[in-house]
Amino acid sequence: MTRTAAIIGGGVIGGGWAARFLLNGWNVIVSDPDPEAERKIGEVLDNARRSLPALSDVTVPQEGNLSFAGSLAKAVADADWIQESVPERIEIKHKVFAEIQANCRKDALIGSSTSGFKPSELQEGASRPEQIFVAHPFNPVYLLPLIELVGNAGTTARAKSVLEEIGMKPLIVRQEIDAHIADRFLEAVWREALWLIKDGVATTQEIDDAIRFGFGLRWAQMGLFETYRIAGGEAGMRHFIAQFGPCLSWPWTKLMDVPELTEELTGKIAEQSDAQSGRYSIRELERIRDDNLVSMMRALKARNWGAGALLKTHDERVKPALPTELDQPLNTLNRVIPIDWTDYNGHMNESRYGQVFSDAGDVVMRMVGADEAYIDGGLSYFTVENQITYREETHAGEAIFVRTQVLEAKGKKLRMYHDMCRTSDEALLATCNQLLIHVSLETRRSCEPGPEVSARLDALHAAQSKLPEPESLRES
């Protein structure tokens, strides 16, 4: 059964929430009095559709239905999850929560995107205070997985389960605290950056360069303490603290003293920021940001580390079942082409076609029982020949599917023919005639498959042999 999320407030954060839920198969209803809300959310969704599916190597859920409600009451009436993302003014939030609770289900989850208010502040005057909790995300919500959850233990436990299902990393904050956890770090860095600019030590670009070319790269994949544990060498964290701890008492920072945001300082920051990034529109910067995040997170995914490990787990959760209709061409792969698969010509690099067809062949291997357990037992298939033809260009963000037919499955040989097609119009993009040989991983030489695999291969080939030869193969 498809679930529904009501998004109250369709700004940058609300739009990101809408995209995260919608692209994970939820129906989404948006309530926002802004007459431009539909356009703004549509633009955020355009970016999300381009980037979020590219994090996945399996079929992504079918997109839910998006609608815009004429009133808040209509938006929340049947919602399973209600996400408040209105301006950070407590009187506005109290008014919104009162209207939500007057019209929503008693079992609905009501999260607030607030970056600073505590749940007890949000719950003041609420008819069901335990229903309201903090669900603080990070922009872009549709890509960055962290969500800080603060509130009633039972409510946040339910929320955690939902968020994990849509590929996020819920962090339950142990106790109420102003600005939760992550923003306290961000505010400390922000204060120090303001002083560096005010005192003429660094510009906005120099500060950003210090982060993105230095510790920001380390933090992105290891965080703070794991990074510094390595800095301690073989002696570990204790040695690091002994070596660098004394500097904490030195007067380096001004974290307890905040410069006044005068018109002069504000203007200085704005001018430097314009010089740094003014040549890009906001949407261009968003796409650059999204492409960089996708590439970094996919790199971590290949190493099964940090946010990448979370992506692998989510892929396993949503991975589709193996094809069961053996007397039809097999649908072996559905995916979106990620940005890091493209080359200097602006289209998919030829090496990635090999990966697509290899992944499609792996599906057939799993169908006949040549799965991870089989490989761990010392037997597998090796590709010995790929004949790939390129028909049309393939670009980043395009959804593709692979249609596979088994042409030969006798003894040690397994030959498959793959058509790679664009999902939107089924245009043929590439083909591959692939020959695999069964091998012993111990001797690294060809050998006969195990009896169970052989039996499944016979059944698959018997069904597939009744199909006509693929049209694209006849044309080649």
Question: What's this model's pTM, rounded to 2 decimal places?
Answer: 0.84
Specify the pLDDT at position 399. 92
Whether the predicted pLDDT of 373 surpasses 80: yes
Looking at the chain, the whole-number percentage of residues with pLDDT higher than 70 is 100
Specify the pLDDT at position 227. 87
Specify the pLDDT at position 243. 81
CA distances from 103 to 77, 108, 127, 237, 405 (A): 6, 11, 12, 52, 54
pLDDT tens for residues 127-152? 999 999 999 999 999 999 999 999 99
pLDDT band at residue 153 using 50, 70 and 90 as cut-offs: very high
Whether the predicted pLDDT of 319 surpasses 80: yes
Helix, strand, coil distribution of the chain in percent, nearest 5: 45, 20, 35
**CATH code, residues 4-180:** 3.40.50.720
Whether the predicted pLDDT of 252 surpasses 90: no
Specify the pLDDT at position 11. 94
Whether the predicted pLDDT of 288 surpasses 70: yes
Asked whether the CA dihedral 324, 325, 326, 328 is positive or negative, the reply is: negative
pLDDT band at residue 332 using 50, 70 and 90 as cut-offs: very high
Whether the predicted pLDDT of 256 surpasses 70: yes
Specify the pLDDT at position 191. 92
Structure tokens at 183: 């923003």
Q: Which of 39-53, 257-271, 367-381 has the lowest mean pLDDT?
A: 257-271
Length of the chain in terms of residues written: 476
Mean pLDDT of 262-277: 90
For the chain, give every domain's residue range.
Answer: 4-180, 183-279, 321-475
Whether the predicted pLDDT of 217 surpasses 90: no
Distance CA(460)–CA(454), nearest Å, equals: 10
Specify the pLDDT at position 226. 87
At residue 24, the 3 state secondary structure works out as coil
Average pLDDT taken over every residue of the chain: 93
DSSP string, 29-78: EEE---TTHHHHHHHHHHHHHHHGGGG-SSPPPPP--EEE-SSHHHHHTT
pLDDT tens for residues 77-110? 999 999 999 999 999 999 999 999 999 999 999 9
pLDDT tens for residues 397-446? 899 999 999 999 999 999 999 999 999 999 999 999 999 999 999 999 99
Only one residue has tokens 């960089």, namely 292
Mean pLDDT of 264-292: 90
Q: Comparing C-alpha atoms, which of 114, 71, 72 is closest to residue 90?
A: 114
**CATH code, residues 321-475:** 3.10.129.10
Specify the pLDDT at position 266. 87
pLDDT tens for residues 65-78? 999 999 999 999 99
Mean pLDDT of 14-38: 97
Q: Comparing C-alpha atoms, which of 412, 411, 407, 470 is closest to residue 437?
A: 412
Specify the pLDDT at position 119. 97
68 touches 311 (CB < 8 A)? no
Range with the largest mean pLDDT of 214-218, 286-290, 330-334: 330-334
**Superfamily per CATH, domain 183-279:** N-(1-d-carboxylethyl)-l-norvaline Dehydrogenase; domain 2 (1.10.1040.10)
Specify the pLDDT at position 238. 82
Mean pLDDT of 374-382: 97
pLDDT band at residue 476 using 50, 70 and 90 as cut-offs: low
Whether the predicted pLDDT of 244 surpasses 80: no
Burial class (CB in 10 A: 0-12, 13-18, 19+), 266: exposed
pLDDT band at residue 231 using 50, 70 and 90 as cut-offs: confident
